[in-house]
Amino acid sequence: MDEGRLSLERGVATNCARACAEFADELRALRERARQLGKIDGFGTFPSGIALATKFSRKAVGGDYSMVQALTDHIAEVEAMREVFERIEARYAAAEQRGEERFAAIDPGR
Q: Which residues lie closer than 8 Å to 37 by C-beta, 6 or more apart?
A: 56, 57, 60, 61, 67
pLDDT at residue 41 in the model? 83
Least confident of 14-23, 79-88, 101-110: 101-110
Which tens digit of pLDDT belongs to each residue from 72-98? Answer: 999 999 999 999 999 999 998 888 888
pTM score, two decimals?
0.78
**Looking at residues 16-43, what average pLDDT do you find?**
94
The band of 5, judged by pLDDT with boundaries at 50, 70 and 90, is confident
What gap in Å lies between CA 37 and CA 46, rounded to an integer? 20
Where are the domains positioned within the chain?
12-100
**Looking at residues 45-65, what average pLDDT do you find?**
91
Contact 67, 34 (CB under 8 A): yes
Q: In the predicted model, is pLDDT for residue 104 greater than 70?
A: yes
